[in-house]
Chain A
Amino acid sequence: MTRAELIDEMAALGPLSHKQADVVVETILDSMKAAIGQGDRIEIRGFGVFSLRLRRPRRARNPRTGEPLVSAARHAAHFKPGKELKAVLAQMDPGPDAEDSEA
């Protein structure tokens, strides 16, 4: 599913026009992005939690010059599925070739 399909479905379900559904989806995403920007954790019951995790500085290399450098520590957004969602996933058939892969 893409963002556009999500907006289509929101519009099809509710009293909203397509334009209004677009604004609603935009507002939801913007407010979540703002929370992440403030280092705030986002807790959605029945869905999951977005939080920031620290990425430690790593030794890296400038791929062009081969010069060693140390990357700066930074935060990255992390999503952890909630209990209810995990329970549903646990019931799902993992499929025939169960490797660490995209479904």
Chain B
Amino acid sequence: MTKADIARAVYERHGGLSSREAARLVDTFFQLLRERLIKGEKVQITGFGTFLVKTRRERRGRNPKTGDIIAIRSRKSIFFRSSPQVEAAAAVSSEAAV
């Protein structure tokens, strides 16, 4: 699934929008999420999940090519914790796959 598929769903559901407007709204949606996350803010979407910005501490790693030990700087990263509803959806797909 890509943004285009999501935009199509919005276009079909809404009725009064052109497909271009639907695409723009989907862009806006992800842009808004992005802006908040970049500020380090937590985004909690009931029924879907929570995006958390966490700090990963500095650690030592290895260059996989040369095997040299290198320092990996502390940095921010985004983690997603799915809501029970999304967890249930993922479990349904396990039943289909396994």
A residues sitting closer than 8 Å to B (CB atoms) are: 1-3, 6, 9-10, 13-16, 20, 23-25, 27-48, 50, 52, 54, 73-79, 81, 85-86, 88-90, 92, 94-95, 98-103
Contact = CB atoms under 8 A, between A and B. Distances in A.
B: contact size bracket: 35 or more
A44 B3 CA distance: 6
Interface of B: 1-3, 5-6, 9-10, 13-14, 16, 21, 25-26, 28-30, 32-34, 36-38, 40-49, 51-58, 73-80, 82, 85-87, 89-94, 96-98
Contacts, number: 178
24 contacts: A2-B44, A3-B47, A9-B32, A14-B25, A27-B10, A27-B14, A28-B6, A29-B47, A31-B10, A39-B96, A43-B2, A44-B30, A47-B30, A50-B80, A52-B94, A54-B94, A76-B82, A81-B78, A89-B76, A90-B76, A92-B75, A94-B56, A98-B57, A103-B40
